[in-house]
Amino acid sequence: LSLLDGEKGDRGVEGPSGGLGLPGVKGDMGAKGFMGDKGDRGRIGVPGTKGEKGDLGPKGDKGDMGDVGMKGNEGIQGEKGSQGEKGMSGPIGPCTPAIQSAFSACLNDSFPAPDLPIPFPDVITNRQGHFNPNLGIYHAPVNGTYVFSYHAAVSSRVLKIGLFYNFFPIARTTEITNEATTSHQVVLHLYRGDMVWLQVKDRTTNGMFNSPEHKSTFSGYLLYPDSCELPAIRTGPPAGPTVKPTYMWDPPTNTTTKP
Ligand SMILES: *[C@@H]1O[C@H](CO)[C@@H](O)[C@H](O)[C@H]1NC(C)=O
Ligand SMILES: *[C@@H]1O[C@H](CO)[C@@H](O)[C@H](O)[C@H]1NC(C)=O
């Protein structure tokens, strides 16, 4: 700097405006601003495309019971079942009154008369009274099957004796031994009112003997009746023949068959 420097001049006139400068360097990023106000609601978008089919959902709850259905058609008959077991036996039934008839009687007098039924007045048994001891005739009280027997003591004479059913000799026996017995037993089917008796042949063959130790008996009983129905037997058996019949040793000639 020199020693002659004048004084400082006056301020020059303002020069023309300079040309445009070069752009400056980009500054540093500013601090984050404050949050703005909420914007307005946007417009409804266009519908999207249909999605894919979803997975099968879980099983639902059990539904309510339905109404009762209509009756079905009748089925075909089943097979027959097998036989059941035998049941227990029932109680004892009521007692039914039996038709009863039985007799047994002894000869009272030796050497009975021929051509007549032999009387057996000495009765052992005759509760129903179907045997007439003085006539010696048994009357059947019901249709049924009967048993008759005789055991005759023989002494002093030959004995020819027969068991007669309605005048027909069913069985005849001959005993020629002294101090012996002859006997027979038959089963007969009789109808109510039929008659059974014993008879000797004649006066030379009536050796039927009676003593306390020579007993001759005539017996009979109902084995079983034809029917269980009780007949009206309270009045006793039917009466015998009204006209006195002829009792013959030989069977009636006018009958060809047994009664
Ligand atoms: C048997 O005979 C005797 C003597 O003949 C008689 O006294 C008796 O009365 C008779 N008995 C009957 C039951 O008929
Ligand atoms: C007994 O037998 C006779 C002859 O067959 C018959 O007419 C009658 O009805 C019989 N009586 C009874 C009770 O069965």
Spatial separation of the C-alpha atoms in residues 144 and 141, rounded to whole Å: 9
What's the confidence (pLDDT) of residue 93? 63
Ligand 2 and 227: CB distance under 6 A: yes
**Which ligand does the CA of 231 lie closest to?**
2
**Which ligand does the CA of 227 lie closest to?**
2
**Which ligand does the CA of 212 lie closest to?**
1
Q: Are 156 and 207 in contact (CB under 8 A)?
A: yes
Task: Report which protein residue has its CA nearest ligand 2's atom 11.
Answer: 143
Spatial separation of the C-alpha atoms in residues 229 and 221, rounded to whole Å: 18
Domain 102-228 -> CATH class: mainly beta
Spatial separation of the C-alpha atoms in residues 141 and 238, rounded to whole Å: 8
- List residues bridging with 173 in a β-sheet: 161
What's the confidence (pLDDT) of residue 241? 61
User: What angle (nearest 5°) sits at the alpha carbon of residue 154, between those of residues 148 and 160?
Assistant: 65
Confidence of residue 95 (pLDDT cuts 50, 70, 90): low
Task: Report which protein residue has its CA nearest ligand 2's atom 5.
Answer: 191
Contacts of 105 (CB under 8 A, 6+ apart): 120, 121, 122, 123, 124, 125, 126, 131, 133, 217, 218, 219
Confidence of residue 1 (pLDDT cuts 50, 70, 90): low
Residue that wins the pLDDT comparison between 233 and 87: 87
Ligand 2 and 233: CB distance under 6 A: no
Spatial separation of the C-alpha atoms in residues 241 and 195, rounded to whole Å: 10
Residue that wins the pLDDT comparison between 165 and 21: 165
Ligand 1 and 134: CB distance under 6 A: no
User: What angle (nearest 5°) sits at the alpha carbon of residue 208, between those of residues 205 and 210?
Assistant: 155
pLDDT tens per residue across span 221-257: 999 999 876 665 555 555 666 677 889 999 887 655 5
CA of 142 to the centre of ligand 2 (A): 8
pLDDT tens per residue across span 132-184: 999 999 999 999 999 999 999 999 999 999 999 999 999 999 999 999 999 99
Spatial separation of the C-alpha atoms in residues 100 and 141, rounded to whole Å: 9
Q: Are 161 and 216 in contact (CB under 8 A)?
A: no
CA of 244 to the centre of ligand 1 (A): 24
CA of 102 to the centre of ligand 2 (A): 21
Spatial separation of the C-alpha atoms in residues 148 and 105, rounded to whole Å: 12
Q: Which of 4, 199, 39 is nearest to 120 (CA)?
A: 199
Tokens of 97: 């009154």
Average pLDDT over residues 122-134: 96
What's the confidence (pLDDT) of residue 182? 94
Spatial separation of the C-alpha atoms in residues 22 and 256, rounded to whole Å: 184
